Chains A and B, each alone.
Chain A
Amino acid sequence: MGLLKSIFGGRSDPPKANLDNLFAVPSAAVTLEASSGFKSTGVAAVCYRAAEGGAFASTQHDVQELLDMDAGPKVERSTDEFGFTWLLCRKDPSDISSLITDVHAVNSTLENAGFGSALLCSLVVFADDTRRFGLVYLYKQGTFYPFAPKPNQQRDNALELQVRAELGGDLPIEPALTRWMAVWGAPGLS
């Protein structure tokens, strides 16, 4: 595609989401715990841009119903200051695969309804005794990066780079540091 397509306005076709790499997270979690003691907190969130109109609202309703069918805490929905919606799932911290399955379910439901382009990122929260960070998955790239917020909108870059080094073998880490978008106010992180 590239140049010609973008010149002729074909770039207006929004990029599709790439869901496949999500399933690599559970094995990466094992690596992370062994190397630096960070464990999954059993919290994950999906961030997307809600479209206007009834179709999106009913899809969103379906997703929440689907995830609330099993036992355990219900899904929490919130809107952040940028108008993006977060769906927060909670599971038992030891069961990271079912957490990832839930995250994947949200994504594939939205995608099947034709709203795949609305997906921004997913985030799985990891923590040790004192610090916590979110492992962010970028759909459009199919890559991961760590986001470690500190108070006053500062980022713990040292921790982020450490995580990048540790997970480099398990996950495709986003190579362009400019794409390591700060997601302030992400639920589960603050």
Chain B
Amino acid sequence: MASTRFRSDRGLTARMSTVMLLLGALYVAVVVGLIFAFPGSIATIIVIAVLIGVGQWYFSDKIATLAMRAREVAPEQAPELHGMIDRLCALADMPKPRVAIADTDVPNAFATGRSPKHSVVCVTTGIMRRLDPDELEGVLSHELSHVAHRDVAVMTIAGFLGVCAGLVMRWGFFFGGGRRDNNNNAMPIMLMIWLGSILVYFISFLLTRVLSRYRELCADRSGAYLTGKPSALASALTKVTGEIARIPTKDLRSEQAFNAFMFAPAFNKESVMTLFSTHPSLDKRLEQLAEISADLSRPSA
């Protein structure tokens, strides 16, 4: 008797799982390759990368709030925001995260933290000013879904290999040097590691971005089902992404010199942009929300 209108998107889950498997396979390949190829110096790099990864994950809430210069607010300071999150958490049956506000006019919001119990949801004053309560609620439910899905842990693990490879790319020569300098084979081997890590970095970068886009779609989906108002989230997205998209353009134009280092403008193709972005395109997100809206409107049996 207890039916639900929620339909899980099996295709999305399947695609996401495939990406996770590919990343896992890449890990295994890299680790096995390292064990066979190098005893010794590589271990240092891995230890450093593990420390970075664990640190980023463990302190993710602190790092992010510091970076955004956000301040945590008590229920008395922001009663409306707290009330909204209280209710969404009760609806979603999850522990309430801490709430923070960042004093900037850029409309944005994020959620981070090592576990649902140690999370913080942050909104900027800009987003609160631009969105009406329904839309803000849609954004908050999207962020709370990230918390419930443990996206910080997932993305930290997913990005870990990239951090490793990036370290080797930058510092590999220093680590690899040292005692083996008198060995004639040392230079070519280091070059191979270096090229290999560039390749690994590139592949893991692409896979991580794909995964990130799937996680965003997932969060949109569960957020929309949570509030029952996919259209409010859709309208929030059009407002926010529209404005976010405009602001960076201004900044980049004022820094002409920097433009040379960015290859996206050189291609100037949407497909390239999509491949490298952490968020799915607005069209794709709106399309999914429209489907959910149709789903909610279909007559009861």
Contacts and interface: CB of A to CB of B under 8 A. Distances in A.
Nearest to B116: A6
B93 interface: yes
Given A11-B222, A14-B4, A52-B230, A179 B90 contact: yes
Interface stretch (A25-33, A35-43, A106-114, A158-166): A106-114
Contact of A114 (B4, B221, B227): B4
B151 to A, nearest CB: 9
A97 B84 CA distance: 32
Chain A interface residue bracket vs B: 35 or more
B297 A55 contact: yes
Interface stretch (B12-20, B101-109, B262-270, B274-282): B12-20
B13 A9 contact: yes
A8 B214 CA distance: 10
A84 B231 CA distance: 16
Contact of A140 (B16, B79, B91): B91
Contacts of B227: 49
Contact of B299 (A49, A54, A153, A178): A54
Contact of A6 (B1, B96, B149, B230): B149
B5 interface: yes
Chain B facing A: main interface SS? helix
A184 B5 CA distance: 29
Contact of B8 (A10, A113, A116, A141): A10
A124 interface: no
Which of A13, A112, A117, A141 has the largest number of chain B CB atoms within 10 A?
A117
Given A9-B215, A52-B293, A16 B228 contact: no
A55 B150 contact: no
B30 interface: no
B134 A83 contact: yes
Given A9-B16, A82-B84, A141-B93, A51 B8 contact: no
A7 B158 CA distance: 12
Interface in B256-301: 293, 296-300
A135 B20 CA distance: 46
A52 B79 contact: no
B4 A117 contact: yes
B296 to A, nearest CB: 5
Nearest to A121: B90
Contact of A15 (B92, B149, B153, B300): B92
Contact of A12 (B5, B79, B218, B228): B218
B229 interface: yes
29 contacts: A3-B150, A8-B17, A9-B13, A9-B218, A11-B148, A11-B222, A13-B222, A49-B228, A50-B228, A53-B296, A55-B296, A55-B299, A56-B296, A81-B80, A81-B83, A82-B137, A83-B134, A112-B1, A116-B2, A117-B225, A118-B228, A120-B90, A120-B91, A138-B90, A140-B93, A141-B93, A178-B95, A181-B86, A181-B90
Interface of B: 1-6, 8, 12-13, 16-17, 79-80, 83-84, 86-87, 90-93, 95-96, 133-134, 137, 145, 148-150, 153-154, 215, 218, 221-222, 225-232, 293, 296-300
Interface of A: 3, 6-17, 49-56, 58-59, 81-84, 111-118, 120-121, 138, 140-141, 153, 178-179, 181-182, 184
Given A55-B297, A59-B300, 12 more contacts: A3-B150, A9-B12, A9-B218, A12-B221, A53-B296, A55-B296, A84-B87, A117-B225, A118-B91, A140-B90, A179-B90, A181-B87
